[in-house]
Amino acid sequence: MSSTHIVSIYDEELKYLTRRISEMGGTAEQMVSDAVRALVTTDGALAQKVISEDVVLDNAERQINEKAVLTITKRQPVSADLREILGAVRIAAELERVGDLGKNTAKRVIAVQGSGMPRKLARGLEHLAELALMQLKEVLDVYATRSVEKAKAIRERDDEIDAIYTSLFRELLTYMMEDPRNITPCTHLLFCAKNIERIGDHATNIAETIYFMATGAQPEGERPKDDNTASLVAAEPSA
Amino acid sequence: MSSTHIVSIYDEELKYLTRRISEMGGTAEQMVSDAVRALVTTDGALAQKVISEDVVLDNAERQINEKAVLTITKRQPVSADLREILGAVRIAAELERVGDLGKNTAKRVIAVQGSGMPRKLARGLEHLAELALMQLKEVLDVYATRSVEKAKAIRERDDEIDAIYTSLFRELLTYMMEDPRNITPCTHLLFCAKNIERIGDHATNIAETIYFMATGAQPEGERPKDDNTASLVAAEPSA
């Protein structure tokens, strides 16, 4: 009877961590989605809202860390329960960084304002963001269900995001070469695209953490963490 | 007698973590320093060496994580000892990312090759890297000594790096506007500068973790995590 009581309090503590992670995930998704919308519609007020929300994730991460230390100290968990708590700490750190990337994207709205972003670029950025957010959403669903198979699948599927990022990167370089007035706004859009591409990386890191929580091991096999633009050289414009 | 024996084995485990973190720190510093040298001297072979070293940090982080889980399970540490182990896990993750940034910088050597980087830009990048590496080196020294006061000081001193990064950012935009042939190499240099600026952020994160390990709390007060270029608009070149 007393032991059941202890177990159920302990379950409450694990549920607290799971719930806070889900909340952080929802906030991070909303921030990124709003940041991209603010960028494409040059909505300064929406950008400001995103910037001010970052503190929510900072505080949530701190609270999750404190709860983790308290729970390990009080319950002295081992194996799966311990991995559960350590995994929550790692996922909270990833989500806090996703929020930072949303905030940095929102900050660039002001530099891009008034530059008349070509429709094609805006669509490219929106599409990139949709894919990255879908990956983040799926990995948070996997966190709720702890499916090892699904975690592995997400980890192996970063390629589409990379392909779109590479094509956006090329396109932005071309715009910059066409007209020097495009250089400043397109530079900021390059960093925005990179921010969104990195959200895909964080989703992949979360998938690896879920795999670790479920199995105690890291998933096998190399995965390409870097994008493909690092050695990309654009064709020079015809004079 | 038996209790002394257990304590000394436990100390060995904590020492193992401290030693592995120091090794990771040394590797990460060397990678970043080599990457910037490869960039400035366009040394493809050195760049390749940096790229191939990344796996060393990936493996070290995995081993530190495994050791942490084992040690918590076997020893069930509380308070300072528990924070010591959790802190090592967090610092290992930061150092693995520093290595990723070195690798990404090295990958860009090929895209910058043959572009004849102006001496002023090369000096700017080298200076930025010196400051970031000094910050990383100092924070690793603080990790060895666990000085809370020094950890706080490092955290509050990211400003110089940001100032140099902002000036490099401006300069790169200017070169791009002067000649469209500069656009591709300068774009890659922008990402390299951003990579190096982010190393300063990771050093700051490590300083915060050391503060947490020593005190069980997060340092108070906001700290500016973002750079100042997000809303920077360059003057257009005179026609």
Q: Give the up-direction half-sphere exposure of residue B105: CA atoms within 13 A in the CB hemisphere.
A: 32
Provide, as residue numbers in chain B, all residues whose Cβ is less than 8 Å from the Cβ of A180.
176-177, 180, 236-237
**Which of B76, B108, B183 is nearest residue A76 as measured by Cβ atoms?**
B76
Nearest to B149 by CA among B215, B83, B224, B225: B215
Position B19 scores a pLDDT of: 95
Give the residue with greater pLDDT, B94 vs A2. Answer: B94
pLDDT at B222 over 70: no
Position A35 scores a pLDDT of: 97
Position B171 scores a pLDDT of: 94
Separation in Å, CA of B102 to nearest CA in chain A:
12
Nearest to A105 by CA among A183, A166, A190: A190
Give the residue with greater pLDDT, A194 vs A154. Answer: A194
Mean pLDDT of A46-57: 97
Q: Mark yes or no for CB contact A107/B226 under 8 Å.
A: yes
Separation in Å, CA of B6 to nearest CA in chain A:
18
**Which of B78, B86, B107 is nearest residue A231 as measured by Cβ atoms?**
B107
Domain ranges of chain A: 2-215
* B103–chain A Cβ distance below 8 A for any pair: yes
Per-residue model confidence as pLDDT tens digits over A222-232: 565 667 788 77
Position A212 scores a pLDDT of: 86
Band (B77; pLDDT cuts 50, 70, 90):
confident
Band (B221; pLDDT cuts 50, 70, 90):
low
Distance from the Cα of residue A55 to its chain's centroid = 16
Q: Report how far residue B166's alpha carbon sits from residue B161's, in angstroms, rounded to the nearest whole number.
A: 9
Band (B144; pLDDT cuts 50, 70, 90):
confident
Position A19 scores a pLDDT of: 95
Provide, as residue numbers in chain B, all residues whose Cβ is less than 8 Å from the Cβ of A93.
90, 93
pLDDT at B238 over 50: no
Mean pLDDT of B75-96: 91
Nearest CA in chain B to A182: B177
Q: Mark yes or no for CB contact A82/B73 under 8 Å.
A: yes
Provide, as residue numbers in chain A, all residues whose Cβ is less than 8 Å from the Cβ of B191.
194, 230
Provide, as residue numbers in chain A, all residues whose Cβ is less than 8 Å from the Cβ of B232.
111
Band (B236; pLDDT cuts 50, 70, 90):
very low
Band (B1; pLDDT cuts 50, 70, 90):
very low
Per-residue model confidence as pLDDT tens digits over A202-224: 999 999 899 888 888 776 665 65
Q: Mark yes or no for CB contact A108/B237 under 8 Å.
A: no
Nearest to B10 by CA among B83, B90, B79, B71: B71
CA angle A187/A106/A22 to nearest 5° reads: 130
Q: Report how far residue B199's alpha carbon sits from residue B94's, in angstroms, rounded to the nearest whole number.
A: 9
Per-residue model confidence as pLDDT tens digits over A10-34: 788 889 999 999 999 999 999 999 9
* B223–chain A Cβ distance below 8 A for any pair: no
Share of chain A above pLDDT 70, in %: 89
Mutate to test the interface with A, among B50, B174, B233 (most CBs of A within 10 A): B233
Q: Does domain A2-215 have CATH number 2.60.40.10?
A: no
Lowest mean pLDDT among A152-161, A199-208, B102-111, B180-189: A152-161
| Average of per-residue pLDDT values in chain B | 87
- Type of residue numbered B222: E
Provide, as residue numbers in chain A, all residues whose Cβ is less than 8 Å from the Cβ of B72.
72, 78, 82
Contact A176, B176 (CB under 8 A): yes
Position B156 scores a pLDDT of: 64
